[in-house]
Amino acid sequence: MNFFTGAPAPAGAGLAMAPMYMGFLGIIPDGHEVAWAVLPYTASVALLMVSRVPNFSGKTLGSRISRDLVLPLLGVHRAEYEQRKAETVAE
């Protein structure tokens, strides 16, 4: 099974919230200036979520991480994040 039927809910939620996130980052202007573009975009995402259009799942891409390595890898990632955060505060 390499395809989802319609967009999966987490991906659809991320796609629907993308304009708001980009507004917070200052990539797109806030408010009424972009509402004319955001409304059809959000409606399109909603239609994609309930459609029967096959969307590639990506399950077969790359290699899988074994279950016993997930927690240690998350710990390494968190340590790197905290180190970068400390370096940013020190500057």
Domain boundaries, the chain: 3-90
Confidence of residue 32 (pLDDT cuts 50, 70, 90): confident
Question: Has residue 90 got a pLDDT over 80?
Answer: no
- Residue range 59-72: average pLDDT? 82
Q: Which amino acid is at 80?
A: E
- Residue range 48-54: average pLDDT? 91
Q: Is 0.85 topped by the overall pTM?
A: no
Give me 78's structure tokens: 């968190």
CA distances from 75 to 3, 32, 78, 87, 89 (A): 31, 42, 5, 18, 21
What was the pLDDT predicted at 1?
A: 65
- Residue range 14-41: average pLDDT? 91
What was the pLDDT predicted at 3?
A: 85
